[in-house]
C-alpha cells in the first residue's frame, strides 16, 4: 500500500510540469552559471558572507548592535540553511530514481523493490553531502549555534563559500587540478623532508639547553618555516649538526619552491587557450543582435571591419586557426570552430533565433557556403542568411540551401560598369551615399511611439532646418516606399524615414525628433 503510494507520488512529481519547472528554476538560480539571474543570488550571498565576517571582526574588541548580531547569527544562517536544503534537493532527483527503479522492475516482471531505490537515493545524496562544497556549506550554517564559542569561528567557513560564487576561484582550482599528480608528488616530497628534518633537528637540538627547539612541535614548526624559505629566525639551530640539517632543508626548500612555481605557471600556460575559449563562450552567451560570420577571408575582413566600426556584435567562426588568430588581432571575437558543423554551434552555446541577427557565409567557396548555410538552416529555419556567390552556375544551389540574400561580386562589377558607362553622375552620387568615407550619408530612422506622439505628419518633422533631405518614408505596414512624401503624410509606428544629409546634421535631426518637448505647432 505504502509502496504503491510512494511510486504513484514519484510518477506524479515526475510528470508535474509545475514541480519540474520549480525545480529547474531553483537549479538555474543556484547552479547554472549561464542563467541570467544567478549572478544576483551570488552577489547577495557574497554580501551576506562579508557582513558576517565584518561582524566577527568588530565583535573582537567592540560591542556589536544586537540586531546586527541577530541578523548575522540567525538570519544569515537560516538563509544559508535554506540554500543548503535547496542545493541538496536539486543535486539529484529522488522521484526519478524511484520511477526508474519501478520501470526497471516492472519491465523484468519483478516486484518493485523500493529498498534498492532508497539505497541508490542514499548513496547519491550522501555523495553530495560529503562533497567539499557541501561540507563547507554545512559548516557555514554552524554559527547558528553561536552559544558554543568554538562554533563562532565557523563564520570563517562562510568565506570558503566564496569559492562557490566567484568564477575565477573555480577556474584557478580547475587549472591547478590538471597538475594534481605533480602536486601530490611534490607534497609527498616536502612532507618527507619536513618529517625527516623535524626528527633530525629534534634529536640534535632537544637536549641542548641553549637551543630554542625543545619539543617535536618546535622542530616541525622550524622545518616548515625553513623549507618554505620564510625563515622567521625566532627558532634557530645552535649545534653544528642542527645547522647542517638546516642547510639541507634550505636547499630542499629552494627546490620545492621552484618546482611549485613552475608547476603553477605551466598549468596556466597549458590551459590558457582553453580558459580564453571558455571566457569567449561565456561572453557570447551575453551578446545580442550578433552577426555570425562564417569564414574570415578578404571580403569577410572588410565586412567585419565596417561592422565593428559601427559597434555591432560580431562572432567569427573559422576552421583555420591562423585566420582565427588574424581575426583576434583585428579586435574581433573569433573561435576556431568549423562553421559547417552543428557541434560548433552547440559548443558555442548560442541561441541563434534569439541572439543572432544574421548569419554571413563569407567563405570564397560556394561548396563551403552551401554546407554552412544548410548547417545553420538545420538549426534555425527562419534566421536571415546572407552568402557570397562565387560562380553564377551555383546560384540555384545556394538559393535551394535557403540563403536569403546572395551577393555575387562579378555581377556587381557588371552592373556598376553599366551604370558607370550609362549614368556616371547617378553612379557617383549614389556611390558617395553608400561609401563610408563621405560626409554626406543616407540613414534610416525608425518611427517610434515617442516620435509619433510629438510629430504626426512629415511636414512637422522640420528636416529642412537641419539641412536634411527626407528621400522618402518606408511604410512598414504596407511594405511600400513613399518617395518624397507630401507634408500631410501621416507617420505611423514602425515606419522608417530615409534621410540624406551630412552625418552630423542627420544625427542632430534624429536627436531632435527623438527629444520629447521640441514639438511646436
Partner 1 sequence: MKNKTALIFGFNKYALEIAHHVKDNAYAVKLFSNLDKDMDEDEYEIENFDLSDDWNSLEENIDVEKSIAFCVLGDDAQNVFLTISLRAFFKDLTIIAIASNKENASKLSLAGANKVIPIVETTADIITNILELPISNKVLHSILFEENDLKIAQIKICENSNIKDEEILDIDWSRYKGIIVLSLMHEDMSSEFIYSSKVRHHILQDGDTLVVVGYENDIVEFKKLIGSES
Q: Which of 251, 351, 391, 515 binds partner 1 (CB under 8 A)?
A: 391
Under the binding rule (CB under 8 A), the answer on residue 496 touching partner 1 is yes
Closest CA to 446 of 479, 515, 478, 494: 494
Residue of 432, 456, 462, 493 interacting with partner 1 (CB under 8 A): 432
Cα distances from 331 to residues 202, 271, 313, 314, 511, in angstroms, run 61, 22, 11, 10, 30
Is residue 370 helix, strand or coil? helix
Q: Does 106 bind partner 1 (CB under 8 A)?
A: no
Binding residue (CB under 8 A) for partner 1 from 310, 516, 520, 521: 310
Told to check if 505 binds partner 1 by CB under 8 A, we report yes
Using CB under 8 A as the binding rule, whether residue 382 contacts partner 1 is answered as no
Q: Does 418 interact with partner 1 (rule: CB under 8 A)?
A: yes
Using the rule CB under 8 A, which residue among 419, 460, 492, 508 binds partner 1?
419
Indicate the residue among 182 and 364 with the shorter CB distance to partner 1: 364
Exactly one of 109, 240, 298, 477 binds partner 1 (CB under 8 A); which one?
298
Q: For the chain, how big is the Rg over CA atoms in Å?
A: 35
Which of the ranges 33-41, 188-196, 394-402, 424-432 carries the binding residues for partner 1, by CB under 8 A?
A: 424-432
Q: How far is CA 284 from the centre of its chain?
A: 7
Distance in Å, CB of 353 to partner 1, minimum:
18
Q: Do 160 and 96 contact (CB within 8 A), yes or no? A: no
Q: Which among 169, 177, 171, 170 has a CA at the least distance from the CA of 277?
A: 171
- 194 neighbors 227 (Cβ within 8 angstroms): yes
Binding string, residues 324-363; x marks residues near partner 1 by CB under 8 A: ---------------------------------xx-x-x-
Asked if residue 481 binds partner 1 (CB under 8 A), the reply is yes
Q: Cβ distance 385 to 377 under 8 Å?
A: yes
Smallest distance from the beta carbon of 414 to partner 1, in angstroms?
3
Interface with partner 1 includes 425 (CB under 8 A)?
yes
Q: Which residues share a beta bridge with 442?
A: 500
Stretch that binds partner 1, among 138-146, 147-155, 261-269, 386-394 (CB under 8 A): 386-394
493: left (phi over 0), alpha (psi -120 to 50) or beta: beta
Instruction: Decide if residue 500 touches partner 1 (CB under 8 A).
Output: yes
Least Cβ distance, residue 400 to partner 1 (angstroms): 20
Residue 107 or 483: which CB sits closer to partner 1? 483
Task: Determine if 409 is a binding residue for partner 1 (CB under 8 A).
Answer: yes
Instruction: Work out how close the CB of 317 gets to partner 1 at its nearest, in angstroms, rounded to a whole number.
Output: 17
| Span near partner 1 by CB under 8 A; candidates 24-32, 167-175, 265-273, 461-469 | 461-469
Q: Which of 67, 107, 181, 483 binds partner 1 (CB under 8 A)?
A: 483
User: Helices (DSSP H) in 161-239: which residue ranges?
Assistant: 162-165, 167-177, 180-205, 216-227
How many Cα atoms are found within 13 Å in the side-chain-facing hemisphere of 498? 13
Position among 292, 296, 501, 512 found at the interface with partner 1 (CB under 8 A): 501
Rounded-to-integer distance, Cα 129 and Cα 88, Å: 8
Applying CB under 8 A, does 477 fall inside the site for partner 1? no
| Residue 101: partners with Cβ closer than 8 Å, 6 or more residues away | 112, 113, 114, 116, 117, 120
* Distance in angstroms (rounded) separating the CA atoms of residues 74 and 68: 10
| C-alpha–C-alpha distance, residues 125 and 100, integer Å | 17
Those residues whose C-beta lies under 8 Å from the C-beta of residue 348, and which sit 6 or more positions away, are 281, 284, 315, 317, 335, 337
Instruction: Enumerate the β-bridge partners of residue 502.
Output: 440
Interface segment toward partner 1; rule CB under 8 A; list 57-65, 198-206, 305-313, 336-344: 305-313
The residue among 155 and 458 lying less far from partner 1, judged by its C-beta, is 458
- Asked if residue 504 binds partner 1 (CB under 8 A), the reply is no
Q: Among 26, 128, 427, 519, which residue sits at the site for partner 1 (rule: CB under 8 A)?
A: 427
- Smallest distance, partner 1 to C-beta of residue 434, A: 6
Nearest distance from residue 369's CB to partner 1, in Å? 13
Per-residue HEC secondary structure of 482-513 comes to EECCCCCCECCCCCEEEEEEEHHHHHHHHHHH
Distances, alpha carbon 251 to alpha carbons 202, 226, 348, 351, 395, in Å? 19, 10, 49, 56, 73
Beta-sheet strand order (sheet of 333-335) = 333-335, 313-317, 290-294, 356-361, 385-388, 405-407
Min separation Cβ 279 and partner 1, Å: 27
Which three cell numbers, joined as nine digits, stand for 351?
Answer: 541561441
Say whether residue 46 binds partner 1 (CB under 8 A): no
Binding map of partner 1 across residues 200-229, x = CB under 8 A, - = no contact: ------------------------------
Q: Which of 232, 384 has the CB closer to partner 1?
A: 384
Q: Could you tell me how many residues of this chain bind partner 1 (CB under 8 A)?
A: 68
Dihedrals φ, ψ of 423, to 5°? -135, 70
Any idea what the Cα angle at residue 155 is, between residues 154 and 156, rounded to 5°?
85
| Residue 457 in the binding site for partner 1 (CB under 8 A) | no
3-state secondary structure of 404: coil
List interacting residues with partner 1 (CB under 8 A).
291, 298-299, 301-303, 305-307, 310, 312, 357-358, 360, 362, 386, 388, 391-392, 405, 407, 409-430, 432-436, 439-440, 442-444, 467-469, 471-472, 474, 481, 483-484, 496, 498, 500-502, 505
Amino acid at each position: 500500500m505504502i509502496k504503491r503510494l510512494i511510486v504513484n507520488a514519484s510518477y506524479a512529481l515526475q510528470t508535474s510540469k509545475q514541480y519540474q519547472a520549480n525545480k529547474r528554476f531553483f537549479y538555474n538560480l543556484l547552479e547554472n552559471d549561464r542563467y541570467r539571474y544567478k549572478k544576483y543570488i551570488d552577489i547577495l550571498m557574497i554580501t551576506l558572507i562579508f557582513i558576517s565576517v565584518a561582524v566577527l571582526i568588530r565583535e573582537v574588541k567592540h560591542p556589536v548592535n544586537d540586531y546586527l548580531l541577530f541578523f548575522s547569527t540567525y538570519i544569515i544562517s537560516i538563509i544559508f540553511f535554506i540554500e543548503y536544503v535547496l542545493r541538496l534537493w536539486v543535486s539529484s532527483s529522488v522521484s526519478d530514481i524511484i520511477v526508474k527503479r519501478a520501470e526497471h522492475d516492472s519491465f523484468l516482471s519483478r516486484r518493485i523493490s523500493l529498498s534498492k531505490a532508497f539505497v541508490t537515493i542514499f548513496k547519491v545524496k550522501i555523495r553530495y553531502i560529503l562533497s567539499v562544497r557541501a561540507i563547507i556549506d554545512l559548516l557555514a550554517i554552524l554559527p547558528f549555534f553561536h552559544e558554543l564559542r568554538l562554533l563562532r569561528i565557523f563564520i570563517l567557513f562562510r568565506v570558503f563559500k566564496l569559492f562557490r560564487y566567484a568564477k575565477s576561484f573555480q577556474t584557478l582550482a580547475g587549472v591547478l587540478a590538471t597538475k594534481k599528480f605533480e602536486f601530490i608528488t611534490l607534497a609527498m616530497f616536502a612532507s618527507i623532508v619536513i618529517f625527516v628534518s623535524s626528527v633530525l633537528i629534534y634529536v640534535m637540538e632537544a637536549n641542548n639547553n641553549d637551543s630554542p627547539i625543545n619539543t617535536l612541535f618546535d622542530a616541525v614548526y622550524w622545518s616548515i618555516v625553513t623549507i618554505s624559505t620564510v625563515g622567521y629566525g625566532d627558532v634557530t639551530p645552535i649545534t653544528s649538526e642542527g645547522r647542517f640539517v638546516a642547510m639541507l632543508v634550505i636547499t630542499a626548500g629552494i627546490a620545492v619552491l621552484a618546482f611549485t612555481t613552475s608547476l603553477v605557471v605551466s598549468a596556466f600556460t597549458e590551459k590558457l587557450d582553453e580558459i580564453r575559449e571558455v571566457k569567449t563562450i561565456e561572453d557570447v552567451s551575453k551578446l545580442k543582435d550578433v552577426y555570425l560570420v562564417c569564414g574570415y577571408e578578404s571580403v569577410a575582413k572588410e565586412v567585419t571591419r565596417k561592422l565593428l566600426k559601427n559597434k555591432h556584435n560580431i562572432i567569427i567562426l573559422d576552421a583555420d586557426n591562423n585566420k582565427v588568430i588574424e581575426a583576434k588581432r583585428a579586435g574581433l571575437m573569433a573561435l576556431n570552430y568549423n562553421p559547417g558543423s552543428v557541434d560548433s554551434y552547440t559548443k558555442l552555446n548560442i541561441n541563434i533565433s534569439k541572439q543572432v541577427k544574421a548569419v554571413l557565409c563569407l567563405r570564397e567557396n560556394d561548396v563551403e557556403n552551401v554546407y554552412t548555410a544548410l548547417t545553420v538552416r538545420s538549426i534555425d529555419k527562419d534566421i536571415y542568411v546572407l552568402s557570397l556567390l562565387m560562380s553564377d552556375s551555383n546560384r540555384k544551389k545556394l538559393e535551394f540551401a535557403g540563403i536569403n540574400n546572395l551577393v555575387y561580386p562579378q555581377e556587381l562589377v557588371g552592373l556598376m560598369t553599366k551604370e558607370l558607362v550609362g549614368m556616371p553622375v547617378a553612379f557617383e552620387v549614389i556611390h558617395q551615399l553608400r561609401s563610408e568615407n563621405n560626409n554626406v550619408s543616407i540613414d534610416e530612422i525608425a518611427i517610434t511611439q515617442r516620435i509619433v506622439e510629438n510629430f504626426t505628419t512629415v511636414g512637422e518633422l522640420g528636416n529642412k532646418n537641419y539641412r536634411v533631405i527626407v528621400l522618402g518614408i518606408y511604410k512598414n505596414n504596407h511594405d511600400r516606399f513613399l518617395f518624397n512624401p507630401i507634408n500631410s503624410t501621416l507617420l505611423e509606428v514602425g515606419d522608417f524615414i530615409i534621410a540624406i544629409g551630412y552625418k552630423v546634421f542627420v544625427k542632430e535631426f534624429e536627436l531632435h525628433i527623438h527629444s520629447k518637448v521640441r514639438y511646436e505647432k
